[in-house]
Copies of this chain bind each other. A is one copy, B any other.
Amino acid sequence: MIYLDKTSNITIHDQIVSKISKLIVSGALQPDEKLPSVRKFASQLVVSTQTINKAYLELERQGYIYTQKNVGYFVKCINDVTKNEEIQKTFAKLENDIAYLTKLGIKIPEIINYIKKVEV
């Protein structure tokens, strides 16, 4: 289930786009799986249908989903290119945060130790 922060500075439809796309890329949503209908999803998340519409349109524009009129929205098969892009973006964020941590006085070995604990 998706949790939305309605007080956030990030727009609601962008939050939805971001979460759905993550679910797709990570495989939690399988190719050709049907997404909730605009109306059902809107009532589930307690937002207007237009907000869902905008999110779905954006996901379609970004290549994550496709639409069949009068039928519904479906998950596209994510190719390796898209996946690699996601990996690159995430590594970039990682690098950024690690740089920040070192500025805060944390040494790389400490970070690596932390990550190894995450693994468990």
Contacts and interface: CB of A to CB of B under 8 A. Distances in A.
A99 B118 CA distance: 9
A33 to B, nearest CB: 16
Contacts of A91: 101, 114
A112 interface: yes
A32 interface: no
A104 interface: yes
A69 B12 CA distance: 11
Given A10-B9, A69-B6, A95-B118, A100 B90 contact: yes
Interface of A: 6-7, 9-11, 14, 22, 25-28, 69, 83, 86-87, 90-91, 93-95, 97-101, 103-106, 108, 111-112, 114-116, 118-119
